[in-house]
């Protein structure tokens, strides 16, 4: 195995900073920069701990334009668009990552999950272990034998056994589980009356959604409460389940340029200093970053 590859689900950490760092943190133009400050602190801690040679930060660009909206217009329709102030800070966050000499990517057609899935597949095929940094359960489906799912805020690093213990299913069954049980965060209804625990029991018996749908008549023989009712529900919602599965699965062959390079480069100190000025980073913050980057 060659170097570990770190793939960061960036938007979660921008949103977390937006909600936790006070919005009275502003620059000289009186523009809120709280999300950028909090995100930059996360990036600093992550780089200190991981010291990665191969790394990419993936960002979501739109809630309404991914390929999933084309097949299911209600996908994520329950979420409000990001306010203008937050969008402006997202732009700063991406520029900051770029100035650090680190790959940052986003797409109007694919979500960050799909970009992470695609990069994970590419780099795994080159012999790299993958570490995904996120707290989003959807991304746990990408974890294979030599990979790690790192919930950075909680300091938890999970491999396949811990993921199986947490969700009741293996990583490659998570998309099927979410299709059956639904995912309220993404506005995916699932089968009414079937939750994650029951979906896990079905998948422990039948291994995949496809196998479940081929064996619907056998569900009533399972030793679970309401087995006959569950059988009828799955039978009634076969068509919807196949649609939901297209939404919950991560696209690992996204049309992403082959020129995307994950090797960490030297920082662009001119760009960094410009950003420090625009964001009104104080001397302490600037010094901390400069000492760290020059020692790396």
What distance lies between CA 223 and its chain's CA centroid?
A: 35
pLDDT tens profile 28-76 = 999 999 999 999 999 999 999 999 999 999 999 977 789 999 999 999 9
d(CA 46, CA 38): 12
- Name the least confident of 55-64, 238-247, 260-269: 55-64
CATH second-level architecture of 2-159+251-295?
Answer: 3-Layer(aba) Sandwich (3.40)
Output the CA–CA distances (angstroms, integers) from residue 116 to 140, 196, 210, in the order listed: 11, 24, 25
- Largest alpha-carbon pair distance within the chain? 68
d(CA 134, CA 117): 13
Are the C-beta atoms of residues 43 and 267 closer than 8 Å to each other? no
pLDDT tens profile 118-164 = 999 999 999 999 999 999 999 999 999 999 999 999 999 999 999 99
What pLDDT score does 295 carry? 86
**Can you give the pTM of this predicted structure?**
0.95
Q: What phi and psi values does residue 190 have, to the nearest 5 degrees?
A: 70, -170
Domain-wise residue ranges, the chain: 2-159+251-295, 171-248
Are the C-beta atoms of residues 121 and 143 closer than 8 Å to each other? no
Long-range pairs of 217-222 with CB within 8 A, sequence gap ≥ 24: none
Average pLDDT over residues 248-253: 97
Tell me the percentage of the chain whose pLDDT exceeds 90. Answer: 90
What pLDDT score does 258 carry? 86
What is the residue whose two structure tokens read 């990036």?
Answer: 43
Average pLDDT over residues 193-200: 96
Are the C-beta atoms of residues 112 and 11 closer than 8 Å to each other? yes
What pLDDT score does 111 carry? 96
DSSP 83-99: PHHHHHHHHHHHHHHHH
Are the C-beta atoms of residues 9 and 47 closer than 8 Å to each other? no
d(CA 161, CA 258): 33
Residue 1 has pLDDT above 80, yes or no: no
- In CATH terms, the fold of domain 171-248 is DNA polymerase; domain 1 (1.10.150)
What pLDDT score does 80 carry? 85
């Amino acid at each position: 195995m060659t170097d570990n590859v770190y793939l960061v689900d960036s938007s979660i950490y921008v949103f977390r900073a937006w909600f936790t760092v006070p919005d009275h943190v502003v620059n000289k133009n009186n523009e809120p920069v709280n999300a950028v400050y909090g995100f930059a602190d996360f990036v600093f801690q992550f780089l200190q701990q991981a010291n990665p040679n191969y790394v990419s930060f993936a960002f979501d660009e739109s809630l309404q334009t991914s390929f999933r909206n084309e097949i299911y217009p209600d996908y994520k329709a329950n979420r409000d668009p990001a306010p203008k102030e937050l969008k402006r800070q997202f732009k700063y966050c991406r520029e900051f990552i770029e100035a650090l000499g680190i790959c940052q990517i986003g797409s109007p057609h694919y979500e960050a999950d799909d970009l992470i899935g695609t990069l994970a597949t590419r780099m795994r095929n080159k012999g790299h272990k993958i570490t995904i940094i996120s707290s989003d359960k959807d991304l746990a489906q990408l974890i294979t034998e030599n990979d790690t799912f790192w919930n950075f805020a909680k300091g938890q690093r999970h491999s396949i056994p811990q993921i199986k213990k947490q969700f009741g299913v293996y990583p490659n069954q998570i998309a099927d589980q979410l299709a059956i049980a639904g995912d309220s965060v993404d506005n995916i209804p699932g089968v009414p009356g079937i939750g994650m625990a029951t979906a896990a029991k079905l998948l422990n018996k039948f291994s995949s959604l496809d196998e479940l749908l081929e064996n619907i008549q056998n569900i009533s023989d399972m030793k679970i409460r309401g087995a006959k009712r569950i059988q009828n529900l799955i039978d009634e919602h076969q068509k919807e389940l196949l649609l939901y599965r297209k939404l919950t699965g991560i696209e690992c062959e996204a049309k992403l340029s082959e020129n995307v390079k994950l090797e960490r480069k030297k920082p662009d100190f001119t760009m960094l200093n410009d950003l420090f000025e625009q964001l009104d980073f104080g001397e302490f913050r600037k010094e901390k970053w400069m000492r760290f980057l020059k020692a790396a």
